[in-house]
Amino acid sequence: MTQNPMQANSSMPSISLGADFIANPFPMLEMLRNNMPVFRYELPNGKAMWFITRFEDAIRALRDTRLSSNAYHTLGGGQAGRQSALGLERSMVFLDDPDHARLRTLVSKAFTPRFIEELRPRIEEIADALLDKVEPRKGMDLVDDFAFPLPINVISEMLGVPPEDREQIREGSSALSDATSTDPRRWQQISNFAAFVRKLIAQKRSQPADDLISRLVNTNDDDKLTEQELLGMVSLLIFAGHETTSNLIGNGMLALLSQPAQIERLKNDPSLIPGAIEELLRYCGPAVSTGPRFATEDVEIGGQVIKRGDMVNVVIGSGDRDSSQFTDPDELDVARKVERHLAFGHGIHYCLGAPLARLEGQIAFGALITRFPNLQLDCDPNTLTWRGNSVLRGLASLPVKW
Closest to ligand HEM by CB, 241 vs 329, is 241
Beta bridge partners of 377: 400
**Count of chain residues binding ligand HEM (CB under 6 A):** 26
Distance CA 372, CA 362 (A): 15
Closest to ligand HEM by CB, 286 vs 388, is 286
Closest to ligand HEM by CB, 8 vs 152, is 152
Instruction: Quickly list H helices, 24-96.
Output: 26-35, 55-63, 71-75, 78-83
Nearest distance, CB of residue 11 and ligand HEM, angstroms: 29
Site string for ligand HEM, 17-56 (x = CB under 6 A): ----------------------------------------
Distance CA 164, CA 380 (A): 34
CB 157 within 8 A of CB 122: yes
Q: Is residue 190 at the binding interface for ligand HEM, with CB under 6 A as the rule?
A: no
Beta bridge partners of 52: 38, 314
Nearest distance, CB of residue 46 and ligand HEM, angstroms: 25
Which residue of 61, 106, 131, 356 would you call a contact of ligand HEM, by CB under 6 A? Answer: 356
| Segment interacting with ligand HEM (CB under 6 A) among 18-26, 241-249, 318-326, 365-373 | 241-249
Nearest distance, CB of residue 342 and ligand HEM, angstroms: 7
Nearest distance, CB of residue 346 and ligand HEM, angstroms: 7
Closest to ligand HEM by CB, 125 vs 183, is 125
Nearest distance, CB of residue 166 and ligand HEM, angstroms: 15
- The DSSP secondary-structure symbol of 280 reads H
Greatest C-alpha distance within the chain: 60
Q: Is residue 245 at the binding interface for ligand HEM, with CB under 6 A as the rule?
A: yes
Q: Is residue 364 at the binding interface for ligand HEM, with CB under 6 A as the rule?
A: no
Which residue of 156, 174, 290, 318 would you call a contact of ligand HEM, by CB under 6 A? Answer: 290
CB 158 within 8 A of CB 110: yes
Nearest distance, CB of residue 139 and ligand HEM, angstroms: 25
Helix 354-371, helix 149-159: angle, nearest 10? 140
Among 141, 113, 90, residue whose Cα is nearest residue 253: 141
CB 340 within 8 A of CB 278: no
CB 402 within 8 A of CB 383: no
Q: Is residue 104 at the binding interface for ligand HEM, with CB under 6 A as the rule?
A: yes
Distance CA 143, CA 178 (A): 15
Helix 186-206, helix 166-177: angle, nearest 10? 140
| Segment interacting with ligand HEM (CB under 6 A) among 215-223, 318-326, 341-349, 377-385 | 341-349
Q: Is residue 143 at the binding interface for ligand HEM, with CB under 6 A as the rule?
A: no
CB 381 within 8 A of CB 259: no
| Segment interacting with ligand HEM (CB under 6 A) among 29-37, 242-250, 264-272, 326-334 | 242-250
Site string for ligand HEM, 200-219 (x = CB under 6 A): --------------------
| Exposure letters 218-235 (e unless 16+ CB within 10 A, then b) | eeeeeeebeeebbbbbbb
Q: Which positions touch ligand HEM (CB under 6 A)?
A: 69, 92-93, 100, 104, 236-237, 240-241, 244-245, 248, 285-287, 290-291, 343-345, 349, 351-353, 356-357
